């Protein structure tokens, strides 16, 4: 997909982080924007700031874990612009700690947003793109946690590994259908986004009554530190992602240093070894 001006982009998780950066980049390229997020106030502020620069933008508060809400988002998009050319299934949340200490609500929340949000986006918007029979593209945000499995991040890892599998399959299915629709898999490492503060947007139905465990508190502090230390910002990630869309590249791994851990994981599988810890410091040579 080489042309962006006057094309329609739908972006979930658009109120902060990568989603807001995708919206800003899309506005710079002259795209018509449909922004979605569960945080309606923050979403409205982003849309207002982009409109002030001349962007053609609408904001649609959306809980992507709800299939009916994503269907409503698609209808609002068609009502406003008639088509959709670029979809960012980007909304994401995180919960961390020892995997056996994660509650049923933790699993439902993280999988509801990270996996089912992507699944609903693909389910609802792909048929629209296919009917258009025009160049279009889908970007699913996973994570390097979908390529490796760091400790104390089991729920998040599992959700992101599922997004990787979903998107790789989507690629094959689109090719079999002979569709002019491409897709890309975004796998960033830690970057200064709002993921560490996602708990504030957890719906009431999925909140925990019990206080966090020691492992959850420790993992939360480690996550916030890692996010703050990220060397690439959301704008850098957005630039790399739009480049991938432009060139039709599938894997978008924004932090190449992680590939050493990815290779180690693949070698562990091939050699039938126990899994390496991707968060452990490299071993010094003898």
* Paired strand residues for 220: none
Q: Is the dihedral of CA 19, 158, 221, 233 positive or negative?
A: negative
Residue 286 has pLDDT above 50, yes or no: no
% of the chain exceeding 70 in pLDDT: 92
pLDDT digits (tens, 9 = 90+) for 144-170: 999 999 999 999 999 999 999 999 999
Burial, 104: exposed, middle or buried (Cβ in 10 Å; 0-12, 13-18, 19+)? exposed
191: confidence class by pLDDT, cuts 50, 70, 90: low
Q: What is the pLDDT of residue 229?
A: 59
- The answer to whether 81 is a known catalytic residue is no
User: Contact at 8 Å (CB) between 36 and 58?
Assistant: no
Contact residues for 162 (Cβ-Cβ < 8 A; gap 6+): 111, 114, 115, 146
pLDDT of residue 284: 41
Q: Where is average pLDDT lowest: 82-96, 193-207, 221-235, 252-266?
A: 221-235
Q: What is the mean pLDDT of residues 57-73?
A: 98
**Res 195: pLDDT:** 60
Q: Quote the tokens at residue 286.
A: 């003898």
Least confident of 39-53, 220-234, 238-252: 220-234
- Residue 228: predicted pLDDT: 63
Is the pLDDT assigned to residue 51 strictly greater than 60?
yes
Could you give all domains of the chain from N- to C-terminal order, each with its CATH number?
8-258 (3.40.50.720)
What are the beta bridge partners of residue 32?
8, 56
Q: What tokens does 153 get?
A: 């991040």
pLDDT digits (tens, 9 = 90+) for 230-280: 567 899 999 999 999 999 999 999 989 899 999 999 999 999 999 999 988
- Residue 272 is encoded by which pair of tokens? 């039938």
Can you give the pLDDT at residue 66?
Answer: 98
d(CA 106, CA 224): 18
* 87 vs 36: CA distance, rounded Å: 11
CA distance 163 to 158: 9
Question: Residue 197 above 90 pLDDT?
Answer: no
- Helix (H) / strand (E) element for 221: namely helix 214-228
Give the DSSP letter string of 60-91. EE--TTSHHHHHHHHHHHHHHHS---EEEE--
Q: Write down the pLDDT at residue 232.
A: 74
The pLDDT-based confidence of 285 (bands split at 50, 70, 90) is: very low
Banded pLDDT at 173 (limits 50, 70, 90): very high
Average pLDDT score over the chain: 92
* Whole-prediction pTM: 0.93
Catalytic one of 81, 156, 171, 251? 156
Give me the long-range contacts of 201-210 (CB less than 8 A, separation at least 24): 201/38, 201/39, 201/93, 202/93, 202/109, 203/38, 203/63, 203/65, 203/109, 205/105, 206/105, 206/106, 206/108, 206/109, 206/112, 207/105, 208/103, 208/105, 208/106, 210/103
Decide if pLDDT at 70 tops 70. yes
């Amino acid at each position: 997909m080489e042309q962006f001006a006057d094309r329609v982009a739908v972006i979930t998780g658009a109120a902060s982080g990568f989603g807001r950066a995708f919206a800003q980049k899309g506005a710079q390229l002259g795209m018509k924007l449909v922004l979605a997020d569960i945080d309606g106030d923050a979403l409205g502020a982003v849309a207002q700031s982009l409109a002030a620069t001349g962007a053609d933008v609408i904001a649609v508060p959306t809980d992507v874990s709800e299939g009916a809400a994503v269907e409503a988002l698609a209808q609002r998009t068609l009502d406003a612009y008639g088509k959709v050319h670029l979809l960012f299934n980007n909304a994401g949340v995180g919960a961390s700690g020892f995997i056996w200490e994660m509650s049923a609500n933790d699993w439902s929340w993280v999988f509801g947003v990270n996996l089912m949000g992507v699944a609903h986006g693909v389910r609802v918007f792909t048929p629209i793109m296919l009917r258009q029979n025009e160049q279009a593209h889908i970007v699913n945000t996973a994570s390097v946690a979908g390529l490796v499995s760091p400790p104390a991040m089991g729920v998040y890892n599992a959700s992101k590994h599922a997004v990787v599998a979903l998107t790789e399959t989507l690629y094959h299915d689109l090719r079999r259908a002979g569709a002019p629709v491409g897709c890309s898999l975004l796998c960033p490492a830690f970057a200064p986004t709002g993921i560490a503060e996602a708990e504030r947007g957890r719906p009431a139905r999925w909140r925990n009554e019990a206080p966090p465990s020691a492992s959850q508190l420790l993992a939360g502090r480690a996550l916030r530190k890692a996010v703050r230390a990220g060397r690439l910002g959301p704008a850098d990630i957005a630039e790399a992602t739009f480049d991938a869309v432009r060139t039709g590249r599938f894997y978008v791994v924004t932090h190449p240093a992680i590939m050493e851990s990815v290779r180690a994981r693949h070698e562990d599988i091939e050699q039938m070894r126990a899994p390496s810890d991707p968060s452990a410091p490299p071993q010094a040579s003898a």
